[in-house]
Amino acid sequence: MKTKWVLLAILSTIVNVLSGCESLAVLDPKGPQAQTQANVIWLSIAIMAVIVIVVCAILVFVLTKYRDSKLPKEYEPPYIEGNHVVETIIVGVPILIVIFFSVVSVISNNKVEATPEGYKGQDPLVIYASSSDWKWHFSYPENDIETVNYLYIPTKRPLEFKLYSFGPITSFWIPQLGGQKYAMSNMVTTLHLAADESGEMMGRNANFSGKGFAENTFHVEAMSQDKFDEWVKEVKETAKPITEVRFKELLKPGHEGQLTFTGTHLDFSPAPEGENAGHHHGSSDSNTNSKGEHMEHDHKSSNSKEKSAHNHE
């Protein structure tokens, strides 16, 4: 019997050591939103650890002091109506814990749903992140470029992601920058993030969406604003324009490598917001821009965007 418990203890130790070889992404934040969430996670772990330790200590104390072997065989416990102090503690403490976590949740949710702390007053970089089976499409209206399955972002600047889906519900998640948020068809949800430091990160769809879900990931790289501007310039000089035909091919189920285009699909397939929300999603109205505003389509300006290929497989 003792050998069994020793083996279990050794196995448990090995599992804990191996799982700690690489830090969890959610506990290695690279932005203010992720830092807020990491703080809440650590606070929750600390409080739960205290609760577990106290309860286990009380359990050991009670089992030791009031064990049956210490009492005479003829002992009969007295009849007790109840103890108001004990009842108050066992009811009041859980209520206080729930109230505390509720307040923490409300405060932290308000923080992560708003513009990141330290970035208020700055113009955000708006990125439309749309999903399809099983790809991620990133449109940069400000820079007039689009990428597939990879995301380049500048550091020290607020990011405003406009999320929606061309298929089933997905969940946009970059663990080191912030929590996940749903991307749905026929509507746009907004996620505010920011990167404090440069580096490579992983992003993925955190909501099961079919057999290709496991590989529905994307590469994220945060860089300085100067390097980001250089990348945008390179794309404009070397990438092919995104066309409606090519975009429809990308929407078909399947996996693709990392692709880069000039222009965005928002010109011919606007995001489902404003006048394009609801049943207008995906309509090819050349007289409507990505904001749902009517405008004249300039064919010459569209043709002038055609440049050489810059596809990353």
**What are 7-23's pLDDT values in tens digits?**
566 666 655 555 544 56
Q: What is the mean pLDDT of residues 125-145?
A: 96
Q: Give exposure, 229-265, as e/b (b: 16+ Cβ within 10 Å).
A: eebbeebbeebbbbbeeebeebbeeeebeebbbbbbb
Q: What is the mean pLDDT of residues 187-216?
A: 92
The model's confidence at residue 288, banded by pLDDT at 50, 70 and 90, is very low
Residue 131 neighbours by CB distance under 10 Å: 26
DSSP summary character for residue 264: -
What confidence tens digit (pLDDT) does each residue in 240-259 have?
Answer: 999 999 999 999 999 899 99
Q: What is the mean pLDDT of residues 202-231?
A: 93
pLDDT at 299 over 50: no
Per-residue confidence (pLDDT) for residue 240, from 0 to 100: 94
Q: What is the mean pLDDT of residues 254-283?
A: 82
Number of C-alpha atoms within 13 angstroms, CB side, residue 192? 20
How far apart CA 288 and CA 268 sit, in angstroms, is 8
Q: Is-contact 152 195, C-beta < 8 A?
A: no
Per-residue confidence (pLDDT) for residue 227, from 0 to 100: 97
Q: What is the mean pLDDT of residues 282-311?
A: 39
Q: Is-contact 218 149, C-beta < 8 A?
A: yes
How far apart CA 180 and CA 129 sit, in angstroms, is 13
Superfamily, domain 125-290: Cupredoxins -  blue copper proteins (2.60.40.420)
Q: In what side-by-side order are the strands of the sheet with 259-262?
A: 189-193, 159-165, 125-132, 135-140, 145-148, 259-262, 240-241
What confidence tens digit (pLDDT) does each residue in 64-99 have?
Answer: 887 777 777 787 877 777 788 889 998 999 999 999
Per-residue confidence (pLDDT) for residue 171, from 0 to 100: 95
How far apart CA 261 and CA 241 sit, in angstroms, is 5
The model's confidence at residue 115, banded by pLDDT at 50, 70 and 90, is very high
Virtual torsion, Cα 221, 226, 232, 235, nearest 10 deg: -80
Burial of 194 (0-12, 13-18, 19+ CB in 10 A): buried
Least trusted range by pLDDT, from 83-87, 131-135, 263-267? 83-87
How far apart CA 293 and CA 286 sit, in angstroms, is 11
pLDDT at 307 over 80: no
Per-residue confidence (pLDDT) for residue 78, from 0 to 100: 78
Residues in the chain, overall count: 313
Domain assignments of the chain as residue spans, ordered by start: 24-68+84-113, 125-290
